[in-house]
Amino acid sequence: MTDAPLRESLVKPNRPQVTNLDGLAAMVAEGETFGVGGHHFARLPIALLNAIAARGTKNLAYVSWAGGLPLEILLEAQAIASIDICFSSLDIFGLPPRFRAAAEAGTVPVNDWTALAMIQALRATEQNLPLMPFQRPAGSDMMERIPGAGTITDAPSGETVGVIPPLRLDTVILHAPRADETGNVAIVGARALDWPMVAAARKVLVTVEEIVPAGELARGDRHAVLTRNRITAIAKVEGGAWPTSCLPDYVTDYAALHAAFASDAPLSRSLALPASRFPADRRAAARIPAATASGVRFPVAINRGAAAASPDEAMAVRIAAELDNDSFASAGAVSPLANVAYRLAKATHAPDMIVATMSCGHLDIAPSPMTLSLIEPFDAETAAAHAGGDDTYSAYYQGGAVTHEIIAAAQVDRHARVNNIALRRKDGGSIRLPGQGGMADVANMHRDYVIYVTGHRKLSLVDTVDIASCGRAYVTDAERAAQGYRPGAVKLITNLCVFALDSESRELVVVETFAGVTRERIVEATGFPVVFAPDCEEIPPVSTETLEILRERIDPLGLRRLEFVGSRNRGGLLDEIVALDRDLVAFLAARTTPKGSAA
């Protein structure tokens, strides 16, 4: 990353420059520390990323909460010199191949951060401080991996806390639905880490769908505004986020993403906006109200009419049973099974629970159906509030207000420690995984630490993880009270059984088994000695009513299945789901008059 003085002014002029796409791209210089706004497949500045790649800009130090598609575009262009992230994934499409190849070969150095450490490092820059404190990710190996992280001891209490120096960015790029003529920029929906990244950047370059007269940002959809003195330059680029979304104008084009990832063609070509016209159905889908899907019997529903629950359904129902009316559940970055379970619980036995999606960017959503295209607009519409990751860490996570963030694990050991960073190969190399995101933080902060593994086998359930990317250090009631956290449970749910962490031995114990699963099968599939609780019992069958709600209302496309297939079979399943999603969107579009249209 670029050398910088301890403190410097990041104040910008009151009126941003208005330019074009090439003008913005030309402002990104070789060797800069470079960040990208947006979130998963939402509001990614794809057109600007392609323009930067086309210019041949090199040696960028990529620093963002997530890698994902932006990082893939820049790695393909050989523009990246180093990577600092919390995780990198292509969501339902799996691991990013260019990131994985670079990390495994060691051709590009990778630094893994916890989300809270990155937030606080950006805040240190924003608040003109030499460092910021943060709760240590105790129980994990992450403190040794975060660049510049250290500890200090509070003299009065004797408590040790983490500290992190400022994280300064040369350039941050964003896409937004609109700006006004004076340079204020409006964003709709989840904000990820856009706000602290903007505050920590020397230059902020923004593409927008439209530029409206001054004063008009106050009208229309719910939005948050970046004031004009935080923006360096703006360019109007219609469709500048395609094939990702830009609410309220258009939704993610999963068919286009699927085709691009399945193709051997360069991403810069596959992700170029069609010259002839913008895909009209993506704009139409953004105008479908969430109420259109309420109580609807969809034309397709996976496993409709099957008497027994499939393994993915049984796991979804069992995860949902962890939740009640007092739950506050945050959906992780790439956890469709957990997201389905949250919505199922809220639609059945826990109507008062709070569900937050897009990494807690959409707060208190309604349990709308899980679809590809409409998850984001439905959640943004029904959410009580929109937020950024920095907001929710401060308001909810750090104080222990969230009860659950039930997250998938690649490797788990007998102490319930998780490894989602890298697996060691027998030849001494490694298999790169997405990363821990915010798991190292929330393993202690959230009341209940619940993880799941969809394929219970010895390679996944091991005696000791290769890297402890997260784990719960504060287990007993007394330990948690001393940290200001509520007492809570630690559980591991697999496709065979449910483990609970014993507070005395601090080891996992089997407390429930799925129907028809023998103890012998569990022992044979587990890489550490298995202990069964004296009162271990079989999980009861799923009721017909619950199955119908799951299949008909919550997950008609069967997105949950994506966590139960290997990479070889994922392409065919994605073909099916993308096609079903198109049909479902067309079905809902035909049932409603678009918002803003005459009846």
Model pLDDT, residue 211: 97
DSSP type of residue 414: T
CA gyration radius, the chain: 23
The residue out of 499, 518, 540 marking a domain boundary is 540
Per-residue pLDDT of the chain (599 residues; tens, 9 = 90+): 545 556 677 878 899 999 999 999 999 999 999 999 999 999 999 999 999 999 999 999 999 999 999 999 999 999 999 999 999 999 999 999 999 999 999 999 999 999 999 999 999 999 999 999 999 999 999 999 999 999 999 888 888 999 999 999 999 999 999 999 999 999 999 999 999 999 999 999 999 999 999 989 877 678 999 999 999 999 999 999 999 999 999 999 999 999 999 999 999 889 988 766 788 899 999 999 999 998 888 888 888 888 899 999 999 999 999 999 999 999 876 789 999 999 999 999 999 999 999 989 999 999 999 999 999 999 999 999 999 999 999 999 999 999 999 999 999 999 999 999 999 998 889 999 999 999 999 999 999 999 999 999 999 999 999 999 999 999 999 999 999 999 999 999 999 999 999 999 999 999 999 999 999 999 999 999 999 999 999 999 999 999 999 999 999 999 999 999 987 888 999 999 999 999 999 999 998 764 444 43
On whether both 58 and 178 belong to a single domain, the answer is yes
Instruction: Indicate whether 228 and 96 sit together in one domain.
Output: yes
Domain of 425 in residue numbering reads as 407-540
Residue 559 within any structural domain of the chain? yes
Task: Count Cβ atoms within 10 A of the Cβ of residue 278 and give its class: 0-12 exposed, 13-18 middle, 19 or more buried.
Answer: middle
In a domain, 319, yes or no: yes
- pTM across the whole model: 0.95
Task: Please report whether residue 216 resides in a domain.
Answer: yes
Q: Does residue 37 share a domain with residue 104? A: yes
- Dihedral sign (CA 99, 105, 106, 112): positive
Q: What are phi and psi of 29, to 5 degrees?
A: -100, 155
pLDDT of res. 599: 35
User: What single-letter amino acid sits at 555?
Assistant: D
399 and 428 together in one domain: no
Same domain assignment for residues 466 and 478: yes
Write the CATH number for 221: 3.40.1080.10
* Residues 400, 361 share a domain: yes
For the chain, how many residues are written?
599
Residue 9 lies in a domain: no
Question: Same domain for 440 and 472?
Answer: yes
In a domain, 3, yes or no: no
Q: For the chain, how many structural domains are there in total?
A: 3
Location of structure tokens 């070969």:
105
- Backbone torsions φ then ψ of 126, nearest 5 degrees: -60, -40
Are 397 and 439 part of one and the same domain?
A: no
Structural domain includes residue 281? no
Show the beta-strand stretches assigned E in 461-561. 461-462, 490-494, 497-501, 508-513, 532-538
382 in a structural domain: yes
444 and 386 within one domain? no
Distances, alpha carbon 182 to alpha carbons 66, 159, 226, 367, in Å: 30, 48, 12, 39
485 with 550, same domain: the answer is no
Q: Is 11 contained in some domain?
A: no
Last residue of a domain, one of 540, 560, 590: 540
Q: Are residues 470 and 519 in the same domain?
A: yes
- Phi-psi domain of 416 (left: phi exceeds 0; alpha: psi -120 through 50; beta: other): left
Residues 556 and 527 in one domain: no
